[in-house]
Amino acid sequence: MIRVLHFSDVHVDLPLSSLPWTTWLGKRAIGGLNHALRRRKHFVHAVDKLAALARFADAQHVDLALCTGDYTILGTLPELDLAARSIEPLTHRPLGFATVPGNHDVYLGDSVREQRFEKHFAKWMRSDRPDLTTDGPFPFVRLFGDSLAVIGVSSARPNPEPWRSSGRIPDLQIDGLRRAITDPEVRDRFVIVMTHYAPRLWNGRPDSITHGLENADALLETIASIPRGCLIHGHVHRRFSVRVPDVGPMLLGAGSTTQDGREGLWMIEVEDTRASAVPGLYREGAYVLDETGRLPLT
Ligand SMILES: [Fe+2]
Ligand SMILES: [Fe+2]
């Protein structure tokens, strides 16, 4: 059995005074400060919780850890530095670690231009099948034993307008994903597709135009025929699972693993012919699994 820990949206906290002055240009000056001040108070324990998450991963014999982005609040280098340091113990699982960026990691054009996310995180977005990438490192494909494939696509982009935090998977990546899931080396495995944005909310409806995934339907249509698999995501800070009619893989949102009062995660267990997911929560300073919520995925 392979045990996969899915966590997301850890939004590490840094004193705003420690961020470079250029942080407060453009969108950050308008919406960013307000947003950061509002958000920060929910994440003051984020770094300590990541240490608790690493202890949990050890105790639970997690083989592989996956994070679906939003490591920071404002996509600055000091935040990304701190985030990379804080998740470090979680990246040393026996099968390693893989990730995709969230919208807060590529908050504005400067984060993308300076490739700040890639500076620390590119090594966790490498592919075992570089021939299947169509758009930079995406989609990356990781193959584990004979039973598991993980495919990462990026749905995060800068949103210069302060009122908008929507995402889109570039068409090139949708094409690449389509090819990857039908590849002979991938199609017979249990497939975990990972991206930041939620194609559907807990009630089965799409997220709003200003907060959701623009091409959610294209993503769902592409993954619909995966015979055994699931899609994992973050962005919506609430842990949930949802099935979409005519789409094989279940959607699993970890929510935010470190937001006070909302901490969520999933433990996905993959065996040769079966797979299931167990929700996790944070209680009295430690992460725990809620076995009563175990869901069959196949
Ligand atoms: Fe988030
Ligand atoms: Fe997000």
Three-state SS string over 155-214 comes to CCCCCCCCCCCCECCCHHHHHHHHHHHHCCCCCCCEEEEECCCCCCCCCCCCCCCCCCEC
Dihedral-angle region of residue 37 (phi above 0 means left; psi in -120 to 50 means alpha; beta otherwise): alpha
Helix, strand counts (H, E) of the chain? 8, 13
C-alpha of residue 183 to centroid of ligand 1, in Å = 32
40 or 137, higher pLDDT:
137
Instruction: State how many domains the chain has.
Output: 1
CB 265 within 8 A of CB 254: yes
Between the alpha carbon of residue 46 and those of residues 21, 39, 74, 113, 234, the distances in Å are 24, 12, 15, 27, 16
C-alpha of residue 156 to centroid of ligand 2, in Å = 8
What is the pLDDT confidence band of residue 65, given thresholds at 50, 70 and 90? very high
pLDDT of residue 107: 85
**Pairing mode, strands 2-7 and 64-67:** parallel
What is the pLDDT confidence band of residue 30, given thresholds at 50, 70 and 90? low
Is 46 in a helix, a strand, or coil?
helix
Determine what percent of the chain is predicted with pLDDT higher than 70.
Answer: 97
C-alpha of residue 64 to centroid of ligand 2, in Å = 22
C-alpha of residue 39 to centroid of ligand 1, in Å = 10
Tens of pLDDT, residues 125-154: 999 999 999 999 999 999 999 999 999 999
Q: Which structural domain range is residue 97 located in?
A: 2-296
pLDDT of residue 298: 86
156 Cβ contact partners less than 8 Å away, ≥ 6 residues apart: 69, 100, 101, 102, 103, 105, 106, 167, 196, 197
C-alpha of residue 127 to centroid of ligand 2, in Å = 23
C-alpha of residue 176 to centroid of ligand 2, in Å = 23
Tens of pLDDT, residues 208-267: 999 999 999 999 999 999 999 999 999 999 999 999 999 999 999 999 999 999 999 999
Ligand lying closest to the C-alpha of residue 7: 1
CATH code where residue 11 lies: 3.60.21.10
